[in-house]
Structures are given as structure tokens and as C-alpha cells.
Homo-oligomer: A and B are copies of this chain.
């Protein structure tokens, strides 16, 4: 049985990816997991605290997964392929990227959140750069930022068009 704090984070993550961080309330969270609105404040004093916790949790999770992939998957292009499929899965669930969503909502969020978002994308980009270096690309840094940009943009379009495959179709040829 998962504890309440984790339940809140899981649900908030899902709601942010679909409706945006400003698109749900503490009451939405409370009703869904069966507590009262005030109780959510016990776990996350302010909604800003919740935002920071969401980004930090995802950054740590993704970095752990990325580190594991470097030993469990031998071929770097297969690792990148897995990343593409992960984003396509978001589109299939009518979700956008959590941090992409918050990056769009940037100016309604605090500096703490924007710092966390920057850390997230920097870590992401550095990992991608290492993969493209391993694949022997001339300019791995440029390749990484192009890949990351196209990934975020294609997910935005795929979700709008209700065509998840737009992600993998767009990312073809980035390997």
C-alpha cells in the first residue's frame, strides 16, 4: 500500500501532464485519493512545494534510469530509441512531458521551480550528448539539443493531433 504522499505525487504528476500544473487544484487531488483538501496541505504546505517535489522526483528517477541503461543496454542508439518510445507512450496517454508543461507555464511558477526545471533539462541534455559521442557524432552537443527540442515539439504536436506515432515518425533519422 503506497503512502498518501506518494499517491499525491503520482496523481499530481498525471494531472500536470494532462491539464497543466495550473490546471488542477488541491481539491481535485483530495477527492481522487479520498481525503479532504486541507489534508493535502499537510504533505505539501504550498502548491509551490508540490511543484518542486514533482520536478525533483522525476529528475532523480530519470537520471537513475539513464545510468542503469548505460549498463543494461549495450548499443547507445537502442538507449535513445527507448527514450523516444517513452515519449510516444506519453502521447498515447494524452500526456505532455511534465517538465515541458511546466516550462510552458514558466511565468506562473516560482524561481525554485524554474531552477529545478533547468537542472532537469541540463542533466537530460548531458546524457544525450554522451550517447551521441559514443555513437561517434561530429557535434554531439548540437545533436543533443536538436534531439531534445524535436522530442518536446513532436510530443506537443502528436498530442494535439491525437496521433502518438508522430513522435517516432518525427524522431526517425536522429540516430
Contacts and interface: CB of A to CB of B under 8 A. Distances in A.
Interface of A: 18-20, 22-23, 94, 96, 100-101, 103-108, 114, 117-118, 121, 142, 145-146, 148-154, 156-157, 159-161, 166, 169-170, 172-173
Contacts of A172: 142
A143 to B, nearest CB: 9
Given A20-B20, A108-B19, A149 B145 contact: no
B20 A160 contact: no
A104 B108 contact: no
A150 B94 CA distance: 20
Nearest to A102: B160
Contacts of A169: 142, 145
Identical chains bound together, number: 2
A103 B23 contact: no
Nearest to A15: B107
Contact of A121 (B23, B118, B149, B157): B157
A105 B20 CA distance: 6
B160 A106 contact: yes
A151 to B, nearest CB: 7
A149 B96 CA distance: 14
A173 B153 CA distance: 17
A103 B20 CA distance: 11
A123 B106 CA distance: 28
Nearest to A17: B107
Contacts of A19: 107-108
Nearest to A105: B20
A105 B102 CA distance: 11
B149 A170 contact: yes
